[in-house]
Amino acid sequence: TDCQDFHTEKIINAAPGAQGGTEVSVEVYFEPSHLGETKGILMLSSITGGEYIIPLFGVALPPKPQAPLSSLSRLVREFVAQNNTVQIKHVIQTLSQEFALSQHPHSRKGGLIGLAACSIALGKDSGLYLKELIEPVLTCFNDADSRLRYYACEALYNIVKVARGAVLPHFNVLFDGLSKLAADPDPNVKSGSELLDRLLKDIVTESNKFDLVGFIPLLRERIYSNNQYARQFIISWILVLESVPDINLLDYLPEILDGLFQILGDNGKEIRKMCEVVLGEFLKEIKKNPSSVKFAEMANILVIHCQTTDDLIQLTAMCWMREFIQLAGRVMLPYSSGILTAVLPCLAYDDRKKSIKEVANVCNQSLMKLVTPEDDEPDELKPTAQRPAEPNPDDTLAKQEGTAGGGPDGSCDSSFSSGSGVFTPASTERAPVTLHLDGIVQVLNCHLSDMAIGMMTRIAVLKWLYHLYIKTPRKMFRHTDSLFPILLQTLSDESDEWQHMAVRVN
């Protein structure tokens, strides 16, 4: 069929800062069929190659059937004005299935451009079709051709820019796609994804409808990425979410704290610095609102990272532990054996790790002060509240891959599982807590028996035993048989301070 000259329209420009632009001609023609009916033909013609035809059925014809009706944008606007959702969905579906998801690169590019044009033409009504518009574009994020991935970024940028807050119900799939593009090897694709990322951050910042609960599982999963760029992407989003007044990320800190400490060990200085800033902001919030903090759910996470070989991670975790002990008080007592396992070895550090040693000493002293004569009362005589049974951290010992451990037989290993849902901090803050003396004595006994452990650590162990015998003599009595032989051996040590403490305990 002969067609009139094309009516051309620039549908989409390259995103700001990108190289070049993309022009496309989109026309609709109508021709009579052999059956005497008429059908519309939507033709996409890109200046970079290829012409594509989409059949449209049931469209009202202009007076001259072979005259061009409109560009794609005008056609979609006509459908919007007529409230013709059937034809709108048909156009989007055809652009998606026949073009954006085609086996041919030029067809895929044309489809991406067409989907962006549809979104622009739909305007505020684009929110009704976002799932259909977004999904094929996100599929193209995985295209082997970097140019197609760039066009996908460009298309999604325009779709999101038009829809604004309406895209928030689809935030997780957008975040998932962007997190992958953040590590894209092509600089143009990375540049395009960064523009889209900034736009999405602006939308989240200005909205009060962000679904944080639905987002946390995805964040918890992606925070364990080892890719440098993906980590940077994750940290940047946490910083943004922390800055939004209506979003209380602190409630979900136990879900991501372990991942943050792992990112803190990244080889890149910039990422480590960004992670330090994030952790610093969280700690400020904790100090500001300690009553709403889930201390118990994070205690064992800190225990694990206080035992790492990375100085920055260890110092940061130890500083957090110091604040937790001082702010949460006796809520931390059930985790004493794990805390002592992490803290005691640090007391023997030399001047190369002076900062860690000093913070560890404060942790040790603060924890010791939490043990009072109240802890010597029989557990059955203590007042109880209507609450679930208090967990015993000594029953949840679980050595984690890549964390510091104790002896080969696990006797000194108090690296606890950091899984969420194990503890009940809200209830333990109201009800009396239990000092799990058996676990503490086991840790002290282990350190006392190890002659390779530094003198300052062993002296601290004796001070702990002395303190426990003073504050909880009844409960400590049953441990005397196991402790007494070891304490007698300590009298042979040459250190005056050591002998003095050993005599006091004996």
> What values do phi and psi take at 116, rounded to 5?
-65, -40
What is the mean pLDDT of the segment spanning 451-457? Answer: 85
At residue 487, the pLDDT reads 76
Residue type, 121: A
Q: Which amino acid is at 439?
A: G
In a domain, 143, yes or no: yes
Higher pLDDT, 67 or 293: 293
pLDDT of residue 2: 32
* 367 occurs within a structural domain: no
Question: Does the pLDDT at position 212 exceed 80?
Answer: yes
In the structure, what pLDDT confidence band is assigned to residue 424 with cuts at 50, 70 and 90? very low
- Which of 114, 11, 103 lies closest to 53, judged by CA? 114
In this structure, is residue 479 part of a structural domain? no
On whether residue 137 sits in a domain, the answer given is yes
pLDDT band at 141 (very low <50, low <70, confident <90, very high): very high
The model carries a pTM of 0.78
Distance, CA of 303 to CA of 417 (rounded, Å) = 10
**Cα atoms in the 13 Å half-sphere on the side-chain side of 220:** 15
What integer pLDDT is reported at residue 492 of this predicted model?
64
- pLDDT on residue 501: 56
Range of 26-35, 411-420, 483-492, 494-503 with top mean pLDDT: 483-492
The structural domain count of the chain equals 1
Which letter does DSSP use for residue 330 in this model?
G
Mean pLDDT of 309-317: 97
Question: What span, in angstroms and rounded, lies between the C-alpha atoms of 376 and 404?
Answer: 32
CA atoms of 55 and 62, how far apart (whole Å): 16
How far is Cα 428 from Cα 421, in angstroms, rounded to an integer?
14
Range of the domain at 23: 1-162
Which pLDDT score, from 0 to 100, does residue 36 have? 36
Give me the pLDDT at residue 495, please. 58
- Higher model confidence: residue 74 or residue 290? 290
For the chain, percent of residues with pLDDT exceeding 90: 61
Query: Each residue of 87-125: pLDDT tens digit?
Result: 999 999 989 998 899 998 888 988 898 899 999 999 999
Q: What is the pLDDT of residues 369-419, one digit of tens each?
A: 999 999 988 866 555 433 333 445 444 333 333 333 333 333 354 333 333
Residue 496: which pLDDT band, with cuts at 50, 70 and 90? Answer: low
CA distance 159 to 320: 43
The whole-number pLDDT of residue 485 equals 82
More confident residue, 421 or 471: 471
Average pLDDT for the chain = 79
| Position 213 in a domain | no
Task: Say what the pLDDT of residue 149 is.
Answer: 96
pLDDT score of 66: 31
User: 199 is written with which tokens?
Assistant: 């736009």
Answer whether residue 296 is part of any domain: no
Phi-psi region of 115 (alpha: psi -120 to 50; beta: other; left: phi over 0): alpha
Is 493 domain-assigned?
no
Q: In what order do the strands lie in the sheet with 51-56?
A: 24-32, 38-46, 51-56
- Would you say residue 502 has pLDDT above 60? no
Predicted pLDDT of residue 382: 56
Give which of 256, 280, 274, 356 is closest to 314, Cα–Cα: 356
Which two three-digit tokens encode residue 33? 């069929």
* Greater model confidence, 433 or 149: 149
In this predicted structure, which of 60-69, 379-388, 434-443 has the lowest mean pLDDT? 60-69
Above pLDDT 70, what percent of the chain?
A: 72
Residue 466 domain-assigned (yes or no): no
- Predicted local distance difference test score (pLDDT) of residue 334: 95
Q: Lowest-pLDDT range, 201-210, 432-441, 491-500?
A: 491-500
229 Cα distance to chain centroid: 14
Per-residue pLDDT band for 494 (boundaries 50, 70, 90) equals low
